[in-house]
């Protein structure tokens, strides 16, 4: 299949792996690379890439799964909103099983009677609102720069259509501030970052300048096996030559400048604010909050929230895993108390979660 097969060419992957081996040997010390994006984690597992790499290269997963970094208090707030009478609660599929305090999830409250709907596009939420004029449609907007522009544009359309029964609960976040927070951690031992592919289509390469400035390799990488191994190779080159810059491996999708129009749409609806990330804590300027101009469509204004006492699960190490400070098998709950059927922490829930990917592909 065109645009796929050429990026899964076993011969090309083999050649790139040979080059990786040569560079790894030249560098002559253990190298740690962090893939920030959950889809990269998934691709590494799905194609069995980890086992093809030389032993000196360690890949660790970063905070790039939007479901996983959603704080437990945001999950609890989502559950509260979804349980309001007369509410149709709509969101993306991966949120369904994420446990809030006490292990409750959207899936469970749906089985108990809440009207929770899974959408592929936020725009479908507008049709649901139009078809159900006497009910309130609340959309949970989640994701990084990839999904935030579409959600922003949905809010714009809702206003243009004069829809009174559609509102948004935004837990959107942006990636560069999270990278900054990782770089600021003195205990973090990372030689380079495999930067996200799709987020970068919007942000452009410029957004990652902070990485080479901190003396680490940065390669924006695609999601196919050829891309992944090529991205690792380009990172090793930077590390060997100690010449750091934002390289774009995923050039068929990403430019240095990114998608300005999408960023403008985002900026019209959202403003940056401090957001609480699971595992990383509060990161300044990393959240996308609804601007004053769209305040009437903010679900948090429409449904006054009581004080909710959220509590993390005992023994859950998702925090360390999201910072790359720990790998899933090192967690005592992994595969025992915490499985995809009975997930304790978010990294086990989402298909992009580090623990789910490990259990699914590498256990």
Question: Beta strands of 291-328 (E only): which ranges?
Answer: none
**Position 18 contacts another protein (CB under 8 A):** no
**Position 282 contacts another protein (CB under 8 A):** no
Helix, strand, or coil (residue 205):
helix
Q: For residues 131 and 293, which CB has a smaller minimum distance to another protein in the complex?
A: 131
Q: Considering the complex, what minimum distance in angstroms separates the CB of residue 49 from another protein?
A: 6
Among 29, 55, 120, 307, binds another protein (CB under 8 A): 120
- Residues 6 or more apart whose CB falls under 8 angstroms from that of 48 comprise 361
**Position 119 contacts another protein (CB under 8 A):** yes
Cβ(195)–Cβ(218) under 8 Å?
yes
Give the Cα separation of 44 and 52 in Å (integer): 10
**Cα atoms in the Cβ-side hemisphere of radius 13 Å centred on 210:** 13
Tell me the pairing of strands 87-91 and 57-64. unpaired
Q: Considering the complex, what minimum distance in angstroms separates the CB of residue 293 from another protein?
A: 26
Polymer length in residues for the chain: 363
Of residues 289 through 328, those in contact with another protein by CB under 8 A are none
Q: For residues 56 and 351, which CB has a smaller minimum distance to another protein in the complex?
A: 351
Among 29, 51, 242, 309, binds another protein (CB under 8 A): 51
Q: For residues 19 and 214, which CB has a smaller minimum distance to another protein in the complex?
A: 19
Of residues 57 through 116, those in contact with another protein by CB under 8 A are 66-67, 92-94, 96, 107-108, 110-112
Among 19, 27, 52, 300, binds another protein (CB under 8 A): 52
Site string for another protein, 166-205 (x = CB under 8 A): --------------------------------xx------
Main-chain phi, psi angles of 184, to 5 degrees: -75, -15
Q: For residues 172 and 216, which CB has a smaller minimum distance to another protein in the complex?
A: 172
Which residues face 273 on adjacent strands?
Answer: 287
If we measure between CA atoms, which residue out of 161, 153, 228 comes closest to residue 194? 228
Q: For residues 61 and 238, which CB has a smaller minimum distance to another protein in the complex?
A: 61
Q: Considering the complex, what minimum distance in angstroms separates the CB of residue 18 from another protein?
A: 12
Q: For residues 14 and 164, which CB has a smaller minimum distance to another protein in the complex?
A: 14
Give the Cα separation of 9 and 22 in Å (integer): 20
**Position 341 contacts another protein (CB under 8 A):** yes
**How many chain residues are in contact with another protein, going by CB under 8 A?**
51
Long-range contact pairs involving 303-309 (C-beta distance under 8 Å, separation at least 24): 303/80, 303/81, 303/84, 303/87, 303/138, 305/77, 305/80, 305/81, 306/80, 308/73, 308/76, 308/77, 308/80, 308/101, 309/101
Helix, strand, or coil (residue 112):
coil
Give the Cα separation of 346 and 356 in Å (integer): 9
Q: For residues 229 and 234, which CB has a smaller minimum distance to another protein in the complex?
A: 229
Select from 45-53, 129-137, 272-280, 323-331 the region that touches another protein (CB under 8 A).
45-53
Q: Considering the complex, what minimum distance in angstroms separates the CB of residue 184 from another protein?
A: 25
Q: For residues 43 and 239, which CB has a smaller minimum distance to another protein in the complex?
A: 43
Among 142, 155, 207, 316, binds another protein (CB under 8 A): 142
Give the Cα separation of 36 and 219 in Å (integer): 11
Give the Cα separation of 309 and 72 in Å (integer): 10
Among 99, 177, 225, 279, binds another protein (CB under 8 A): 225
What tokens were used for 97? 């099983």
Point out which residues bind another protein (CB under 8 A): 1, 4, 8, 10, 13-14, 38-39, 45-52, 66-67, 92-94, 96, 107-108, 110-112, 118-121, 124, 142-144, 146-147, 198-199, 225, 340-342, 350-352, 359-363
């Amino acid at each position: 299949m065109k645009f796929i097969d050429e990026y899964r060419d076993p011969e090309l992957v083999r050649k790139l792996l040979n080059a990786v081996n040569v560079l790894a040997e030249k560098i002559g010390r253990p190298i740690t690379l962090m893939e920030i994006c959950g889809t990269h984690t998934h691709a590494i597992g799905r194609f069995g890439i980890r086992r093809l790499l030389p032993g000196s290269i360690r890949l660790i997963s970063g905070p790039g799964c939007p479901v996983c970094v959603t704080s437990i208090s945001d999950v609890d707030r989502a559950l509260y909103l979804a349980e309001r009478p007369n509410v149709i609660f709509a969101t993306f599929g991966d949120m369904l099983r994420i446990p809030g305090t006490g292990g409750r999830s959207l899936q469970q409250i749906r089985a108990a009677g809440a009207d929770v709907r899974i959408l592929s596009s936020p725009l479908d939420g507008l049709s649901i609102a139009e078809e159900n004029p006497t009910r309130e449609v609340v959309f949970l907007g989640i994701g990084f720069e990839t999904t935030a522009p579409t959600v922003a544009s949905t809010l714009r359309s809702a206003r243009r259509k004069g829809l009174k029964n559609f509102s948004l609960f935004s837990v959107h976040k942006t990636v560069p501030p999270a990278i900054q927070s990782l770089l600021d951690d003195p205990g973090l031992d990372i030689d380079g970052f495999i930067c996200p592919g799709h987020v970068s289509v919007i942000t452009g390469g410029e957004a990652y300048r902070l990485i080479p400035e901190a003396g680490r390799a940065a390669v924006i990488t695609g999601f196919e096996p050829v891309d992944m191994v090529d991205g690792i190779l380009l990172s090793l080159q930077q590390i060997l030559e100690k010449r750091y810059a934002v390289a774009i491996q995923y050039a068929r999708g990403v430019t240095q400048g990114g998608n300005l129009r999408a960023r403008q749409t985002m900026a019209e609806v959202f403003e940056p604010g401090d957001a609480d990330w699971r595992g990383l804590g509060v990161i300044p300027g990393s959240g996308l909050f609804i601007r004053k101009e769209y305040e009437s469509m903010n679900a948090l204004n429409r449904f006054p929230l009581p004080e909710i006492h959220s509590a993390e699960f005992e023994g859950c190490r998702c925090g360390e895993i999201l910072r790359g400070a720990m790998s899933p098998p090192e967690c005592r709950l992994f595969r025992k108390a915490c499985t995809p059927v009975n997930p304790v922490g978010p990294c086990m829930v989402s298909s992009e979660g580090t623990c789910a990917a490990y259990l699914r592909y590498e256990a």
